[in-house]
Structure 1
Amino acid sequence: MTINAVLLAVAIMLGLSLARVHVVLSLLIGALAGGLIAGLGMTDTLNAFQEGIKNGAQIALSYALLGAFAVAIAHSGLPQSLAGAVIKRIDAGGTSGMIKYMLFAGLVTMSCFSQNLIPIHIAFIPLLVPPLLLAFNRMQIDRRLIACLITFGLVTTYMFIPYGFGDIYLNQIMLKNVGEAGIDVANISVTKAMAIPALGMLVGLLIAVFISYRKPRQYQQLAIDKEARDAVVEGDALSKTAATAQIQSKMKTIVALIAIVTAFVVQLYTDSLLLGSMFGFGVF
């Protein structure tokens, strides 16, 4: 029975791959099918799947599937909708300090979420930032400050919070390598240890916002920046010209949100970014 389960699992994986299903998703579905056919429960099958991926392969698979997850989110139009909403708010409210700091907070939040809640890492930057460049120019924001805001959210989150990419870096790479070097890590709180550099990142962010890059800075209005901005605004306007297009746009957004929540819940339940991204991508 076990041999038949293995053969069926391989056959399912190959069949899905030939049907152009993402290869990592095909691998998971084949493994789940093989475990269930062999009489293992869902939890035992998932544990066996994770334990069978060793020596960095789990990290490689995580990054491979997260790339597909990022592309799926991009096709949903959710990042473009967020950029469009910000642009409209800026167009309606001018260049007040409140809007500027709300924009700063939004960039930091999105950067943090990209490490755990929406685990797409840096893939959100080319989706969200280019349409906002004209808005940055209008408010005369120093682009070095934008780089500091994004860097703070990306780095501090995974170096301090042990979820998503933080789990990969803190537990699967750093703590594991320290343990393999012969140091006892049984009673070490990696979060407390990394709080020191995380606080350093926070101090650096505050210095960048209120001291180093607070002065207005002017940039040339490039045609490519205008095209990126107009593409988002016009795309949002076109989606509202027909009821069917509007419904489709809303459905894509709803599916994207469900997939994001699914990925995060599965990640918390299984303690595996790989499985979380697989299930999130499977929703799409």
Structure 2
Amino acid sequence: MAWAVILSVLVMTVLSLLRVNVIIAIIAAALSAGLLAGESLSDSLTYLVDGMGNQASVALSYILLGAFAVGIRYSGITNLLVNYLIRALKDKRVIMLLVIAGVASLSQNVIPVHIAFIPILIPPLLKLFDKMKIDRRGVATALTFGLKAPYIMIPAGFGLAFHETIQDAMKSSGVSLGIDSIALSLLIPGSGMVVGLLIAVFFTYRGKRETVGQVDHDSFDISDIPEVTFNWKHSLTIVAIIGALAVQLFTESLVLGALTGLVLMFIFLIVPYSSGDKVVTEGIGMMGTIAFVMLIAAGYANVLQQTGSIDQLVDASSSMIGENQALIAFILLLVGLVVTMGIGSSFGTVPILAALFVPICAAAGFSPMATAALIGTAGALGDAGSPASDSTLGPTSGLNADGKHNHIWDTCVPTFLHYNIPLFIFGWIAAMVL
């Protein structure tokens, strides 16, 4: 059934907006997709469970990245950054948001810990955010920008993995394109995210906002923050971070990269051997829920694939739009938005969409670069704003440390509005001009 994808995504979205737990919402959406496609409840559940294995390596990498991030916290190097932000930017809300976006951007290409830094960096700043009356929705949009825009535009770290995923998916469908050309094609869609960030920071969330249920912060005093000076542990931590990045780039494996960084932490005695169990346990506690959500999302994606729902949706779309390039690009991006909202993963969506987009784009006369722009944009669309996406789950994990930040209304809705709309527009423009 061609409408199974759309209806199941609506099920997930409505349940999430009603504040049903995201895991329950995704399971309900997956089972709904199976039933709407004519499968039995038992078969739908089987597809769901079988598909969870498709993201096992991603889930493992998140756990290891969580442990690596905890090890970095043990070194105290993150305290240097927290101290700088608190002392230098305590009265500058707009600059604070821009700096947070910049720091988050480093997690994709330079220090590939992805979302693992958020539960370490953000909770210590919550008290300051409330004192400054910073709108936490603005912080969420800044973090999500850093988690998405760099890998869309820059072919290094997670960006290299994303661009290679597009390259491999296109090649398997008969179209070859270099990484440089793919990166160039995605600069225009990525620029849309820059526009969305600037709108969020300078207009939407620039004003002051009281955090609901906040405690009395009258006792907040900058002098209460302990002084931290750069030491040998910080130097060795930087070496461990560089080692993790080098291994990740060389092997193209996040698991090996995170494991390398974690092992170096122990070899350099940054983290005592006796604290090994504690570090791993804290890493699981910090990233375990997100890893499990990604597993469930992979199961949902498998239900859509096994039932042929995505194929039917794209086939139905292509049969309605004829040969009008502008209309074809619009419909393909819309399909990408719906599918990625459901799956919650750009990386997981690209191979699914590419197999369907490439033949349609080739028949319609799109250039390889325009095709790459459509695939990359369609894969990224919906990642921001999806309840199942790590780009929204990560910011919530840090901002909700004190229980005052709602995942759907304070993270998903703001990021959806500020990033999916400009991504859609700029992606459509890229398809027309490339």
TM-score (norm 1): 0.62
Counterparts of residues 86-165 of structure 1 (less than 5 Å) = 86-90=85-89, 95=91, 99-165=92-158
Residue 263 (structure 2) pairs with residue 264 (structure 1): no
- 1:216 equivalent to 2:227? Answer no
One-letter amino acid of the counterpart of residue 82, structure 1: L
Query: Which one of the candidate residues 192, 206, 222 is aligned to 1:200?
Result: 192
- Structure 1 alignment gaps of length 5 or more: 1-54, 241-245
| 1:1-284 equivalences in 2 (<5 Å) | 62-90=61-89, 95=91, 99-172=92-165, 174-180=166-172, 182-187=173-178, 189-220=181-212, 222-223=214-215, 236=226, 250-268=231-249, 273-284=254-265
**Partner Cα separation in structure 2 for residue 124 and residue 210 of structure 1:** 25
2:64 maps to a residue whose letter is L
Total equivalences in the alignment: 211
Instruction: Give the distance between the partners of 1:123 and 1:154, measured in 2 at CA.
Output: 11
CA distance in 2: counterparts of 1:114 and 1:76, whole angstroms: 18
Q: Within 2, Cα distance between the matches of 1:155 and 1:80?
A: 25
User: Which deviates the most, 207-216 or 66-75?
Assistant: 66-75
Q: Deviations over 1:210-263 (max 9, x none)?
A: 222222222257349899x89x986835xx7xxxxx8xx833322212211222
Which of 1 and 2 has higher RCO (CA within 8 Å, sep 6+)? 2
Aligned equivalents of 2:251, 2:203: Cα separation in 1: 43
The Cα of 1:121 is off from its aligned counterpart by 0.9
- Structure 2 vs 1, CA of residues 56 and 136 (structure 1 numbering), >3 Å: closer, same or farther? closer
CA–CA distance in structure 2, aligned partners of residues 219 and 197 of structure 1: 33
- Quote the offset at 1:272 in angstroms: 5.1
Contact 2:97 / 2:201 at 8 angstroms: preserved in 1?
no
Please say if residues 260 and 280 of structure 1, whose CA atoms lie closer than 8 Å, have aligned partners that are also in contact.
yes
Distance 1:72 1:224 in 2: 32
Cα 1:279–1:222, aligned 2, differ >3 Å: closer, same or farther? Answer: same
Cα distance in 1 for partners of 2:55, 2:117 equals 25
Cα 1:56/1:138, change in 2 over 3 Å = closer
Structure 2 gap ranges (5+):
1-53, 266-434
Q: How far apart, in 1, do the equivalents of 2:178 and 2:209 lie? A: 49
Q: CA RMSD in A?
A: 3.3
| Shift in CA distance, 60/167, structure 1 to aligned 2, threshold 3 Å | farther
1:170-220 deviation digits (Å, cap 9, x = unpaired): 213x3323332x131235721122222201101111111122222222225
Q: Is contact 1:114–1:121 with CA below 8 Å preserved after alignment?
A: yes
Deviation at 1:64, TM superposition (A): 4.6
SS in structure 1 opposite 2:239? helix
CA distance in 2, matches of 1:257, 1:272: 20
SS of the residue corresponding to residue 133 of structure 2 reads coil
Distance 1:269 1:177, change over 3 A: closer
What is the aligned-residue identity percentage? 39
- CA distance 1:121–1:139, change in 2 (3 Å): same
